[in-house]
Structure 1
């Protein structure tokens, strides 16, 4: 069955909901297609101890502040899932789930969105599928010979699963530091990073990071020099569990090993360490396979954009994948502005806007 609408939003996580909020306010006909069977986006699949970097005042989508979580300065992932669930209900967003979008094709004046439960023809498509669904694993010599368990951030849940084991955590970003801190008391931990870890000052959290990202955006928009943004401050937010493990001397990073062995890893100088598991906290890539038929991807898998609009396909907007689709657009508070700008641009070109 083929449906027709002004806008199809692909993805029902935080970016898709922010887009839906602004599309509804502007009176457009739209549908949000979400591959997940339940609300909450990627937040419902994170590890048990994950908390936000920011208090609720700096963790909200447009229109509705996130409620305070009792006993928590920084809300946990379950609280975020509940907030997103309530958000889509409050604004009665037209979400269809589970719908897995397989491909987007050009179809005359429309874009044709093909899903596993039907097809939609739309004048505009907003892709908001994020990165969680495309974990990145580096290629390392000996990877196939290691007899232990290898998993990515997306598969990690709790230190209970590794109690008493020898675990190597690879990655010097926030996920690597948080998972290493999570495991530090229950395992024989080796934390491995590509370069020495850079912790942000202890008093910096998501509030300050949002201010820094905003200052960078304003500088770039006014033609001033790039301030470097958040990356200029460091790589790791010292959230309380990370700070405690670091101050207890439990987060001492080793340099990256040169290869895996059957029972562990080996460094270039011949030093070895045995391991029962290796957890790769090595980041993500944008989940854009559904846009393959449009043939838009360039360097690093990104699609060239002007704001959120794809340069080579102006009927397509990309939202929430990182700074290249809007400063801080991969965060709860940061996605609101580019979502609003995308919705306004779409409304200005839509012949069927409701009044």
Structure 2
């Protein structure tokens, strides 16, 4: 069995930032990534997705986001290229095509079992596999009986296949509003939500919201320790999404109450045929490889941790989980801070052994 310092599971923004922080502390991490490239989930997101933070606030430690316009919002392809470049510059071993099937405790170390064969013995483990692999599909009225197409936002790429169709997008977050507005340019679209959509201004007094959260310290405030569950976050808007909803493109309605074949029933009793439903209903931690590790997960499969360190499994850490510590824990611009803290505490833990 191969023996290593730290196994970092996941080669996206969280795993790469963690590897960088561990290297700075004299540890030699091995990053294992299930896909064929170290860019995380970004290659799989919908084509029009852009960062919510400007380029000047969207860098991982050690490499600034490229481009002369520091106030632009980098698009999907730019982020993929940036993460790929970051991985190529990182002086760490990154093994792609390595799916971790299980992590177990064996004596004083962790045994990391790979699906295609092989095992690693690691002194510590950092899980940075994110949530994209576990889309949340809530139990919605009539959804199981609906005979039209149902897809999660994880499987949505562009509006082209739905041109001219009747679409319903479920959700009230950033992705739901963005996808619904994009689809509404070529299709008839309803945004179905349990309550009103809450907006937050993208720019205040001529400055992006991230300028103000950074200036006030709210961006890094350790709010996560006080929250049992992540709060609902508002839709960041420069005015176009609010205007689109006001114009009815898309229109917003309360959630449907049932389905009969391809027809949905709305709360006012109206029934109409719908071609497809897009569930922009979020994700859950994707950590099936930890189920054999006693104390790592709660009954719902969520990590049991305090600010990223496992509460019942010494040497196990989580990076990139939403609201792990602060407002920006699950973002490109903020994960580096969490990675630095975790690397520092893991290094101290390993030094005591």
Q: With structure 2 as the length reference, what TM-score do the two structures score? A: 0.90
For the aligned residue pairs, the C-alpha RMSD in angstroms reads: 2.7
CA distance, structure 2, for counterparts of residue 148 and residue 341 of structure 1 = 47
* Change in CA separation of 1:298 and 1:231 when aligned onto 2, cut-off 3 Å: closer
Higher mean C-alpha displacement, 63-72 vs 12-21: 63-72
The residue aligned with 1:312 is 312
User: Are 1:194 and 2:212 an aligned pair?
Assistant: no
> Which shifted more, 335-344 or 88-97?
88-97
Find the counterpart in structure 1 of residue 22 from structure 2. 23
Q: What are the Cα deviations for residues 41-89 of structure 1, in whole angstroms up to 9, with x where unaligned?
A: 1000011111111111111101111112779811111100100011111
Question: Displacement, 1:264?
Answer: 2.6
2:82 counterpart residue number = 83
What are the Cα deviations for residues 137-159 of structure 1, in whole angstroms up to 9, with x where unaligned?
A: 01123323222110000110111
Q: Deviations over 1:92-140 (max 9, x none)?
A: 3210011000110011000111112421111100000001110000112
Aligned 1:36-185 pairs, distance under 5 A: 36-68=35-67, 73-117=72-116, 118-185=118-185
SS at match of 2:200: coil
CA contact (8 A) 2:305 2:311 kept: yes
Which whole-Å CA distance do the structure 1 matches of 2:245 and 2:300 have between them?
33
The answer to whether the 8 A contact 2:220-2:328 is kept is no
Work out the CA distance in 2 between the residues paired with 1:133 and 1:90: 26
Unaligned residue ranges in structure 1 (runs of 5+): none
**Structure-2 separation of matches of 1:275 and 1:84:** 38
Count of aligned positions = 346
Residue deviations 1:208-239 (CA, integer Å, cap 9, x gap): 57539942753759x9xx79xx958x511115
Instruction: Look up the SS of the partner of 2:19 in the other structure.
Output: helix
CA contact (8 A) 1:213 1:328 kept: no
Q: Partner of 1:259 in structure 2?
A: 258
Residues 119 and 219 of structure 1, relative CA distance in 2, 3 Å threshold: closer
Runs of 4+ in 1 over 4 A off after TM superposition: 69-72
The answer as to whether partners of 2:141 and 2:256 remain within 8 angstroms in 1 is no
For 1:243 and 1:211, locate their aligned partners in 2 and report how far apart those are by CA, in whole Å.
25
Matched-pair contact (CA < 8 Å) for 2:170–2:192? yes
* SS, match of residue 237 in structure 1: strand
Residue 252 of structure 1 and its aligned partner are, at CA, apart by 3.1
* Whole-angstrom CA distance in 2 between matches of 1:48 and 1:91: 27
Q: Please state how far the C-alpha of 1:271 moved relative to its aligned partner.
A: 2.0
Per-residue displacement from partner, 1:248-307 (whole Å, max 9, x unpaired)? 442431011112221131134422232000001011000011110013322653222122
8 Å Cα contact 1:310-1:317 kept in structure 2: yes
Asked if structure 1 preserves the Cα contact closer than 8 Å seen for 2:254 and 2:267, the reply is: no
Other-structure match for 2:203: 203
- The 1:103/1:323 distance shift into structure 2, 3 A limit, reads same
Q: Secondary structure at the match of 1:131?
A: coil
Q: Does the 8 Å contact 1:210/1:334 carry over to 2? A: no
Q: Do the aligned partners of residues 100 and 151 (structure 1) sit closer, same or farther apart at CA in structure 2, a change above 3 Å counting? A: same
Residues 182 and 241 of structure 1 are in contact (CA less than 8 Å); yes or no, is this contact kept in structure 2?
no
SS, match of residue 323 in structure 1? coil
The range that moved more, 65-74 or 107-116, is 65-74
